[in-house]
Amino acid sequence: MSSMLFSPVTLGPLQLPNRIAIAPMCQYSAVDGLPTDWHMIHLGGLALSGAGLLILEATAVTPEGRISPDDLGLWSDAHTDALAPLIRAIRRHSPIKIAIQLAHAGRKASSEVPWEGGANIPPGQPRGWQTVAPSAVPHADGETVPLALDDAGLARVKDGFVAAARRAHALGLDGIELHGAHGYLLHQFLSPLSNRRSDAYGGALENRMRFPLEVFDAVRAAVPREMAVGMRISATDWVEGGWEIEQSVRFAQELKARGCDFMHVSTGGVSPRQEIPLGPGYQVEFAQRIKAETGLATIGVGLITEAQQAEDILQQGQADVIGLARAMLYDPRWPWHAAATLGDQVFAPPQYWRSQPREHKALFGSTRLGQR
């Protein structure tokens, strides 16, 4: 009997051969926003994993929107040209669908890479710059106070998202995920912990949702309907008085009415005061509620590491797709091993067919570019 994990699914116009998505994972290995050899090696390997969808890491829409100076970017045609050979190489050797996460880090920008401590880099210091945000409120005590975005700044950010979306379409990518989670700019507008504005973009929920919805509308209008557009959100801040699931449901309903194709449901990131109850599948309940109350296709994440665990989440209707990040870094053949565990089939390039274990001789079957 076929598993649900390896059954087809659609995210709006995007058809996936299975329900495994490789979630965006920052590599902090770009130069001036341009991909390097590391990206070819890293993404090339993941493209051969058998997953149905690969979402490229958080990609900055403006230079000041990078989390670190070494983040990937898509704010110029030079970035498009540098990414194009990588996309072509993946397309030649894998049927995996490819999306990109477009992002602006807001007040969490200008930070050092994680293996160098990840600390905020003040403007004026080497590798640092002035950050922007909904309000002049730093992410943590002692960090750079961001400049509150004025009307011109809001327009510049929105235009950056639109231009990057058009470049993503020009690259032939299959989808766009807008980053509205983990305490980055769009999340900063949503959360009352970071949004202290008194204009039309702050205060009541409708106002705090306004700018993220404007960005979504602009991106949705900038690319053809055949290109999937969704959003990643943090369903709760895990801080009393912050953004929480009831507001997330409202936001998801507004996105659905505007043609959103999927929600990628995470949590946290906007405040160092967060208290996260970590455990297997600890974020899945939020995806389940958004799916149940809006009907939107959801990608569930959060310490999902085992094949049967992923299968059970799908069978119980908690999510439509399983998003894997750290688990894929640890085991880049996770989909192969999951298919073996569940008695199903998975794509593998012909160069690897002879690796098929005897006890799983039908694992790869006679697949050609993912077709059984």
In the chain, what are the domain boundaries?
9-360
Question: What's the CA gap between 223 and 228, in Å, rounded?
Answer: 9
Kind and range of the H or E run holding 227: none
- Annotated catalytic residues are 184
| Three-state DSSP state, 281 | coil
Q: Residue 73: CA atoms inside 13 Å, Cβ hemisphere, count? A: 23
Looking at domain 9-360, its CATH architecture is Alpha-Beta Barrel (3.20)
- The tens place of each residue's pLDDT in the chain, 372 residues long, gives 589 999 999 999 999 999 999 999 999 999 999 999 999 999 999 999 999 999 999 999 999 999 999 999 999 999 999 999 999 999 999 999 999 999 999 999 999 999 999 999 999 999 999 999 999 999 999 999 999 999 999 999 999 999 999 999 999 999 999 999 999 999 999 999 999 999 999 999 999 999 999 999 999 999 999 999 999 999 999 999 999 999 999 999 999 999 999 999 999 999 999 999 999 999 999 999 999 999 999 999 999 999 999 999 999 999 999 999 999 999 999 999 999 999 999 999 999 999 999 899 899 954 444 443
**Helix 284-294 to helix 245-257 angle, to the nearest 10 degrees?**
50
- Backbone φ, ψ for residue 45 (5° rounding): -65, -45
Check if the beta carbon of residue 168 is closer than 8 Å to that of residue 223: yes
Q: Give ∠ CA 326-329-334 in degrees, rounded to 5.
A: 95
The predicted model scores a pTM of: 0.96
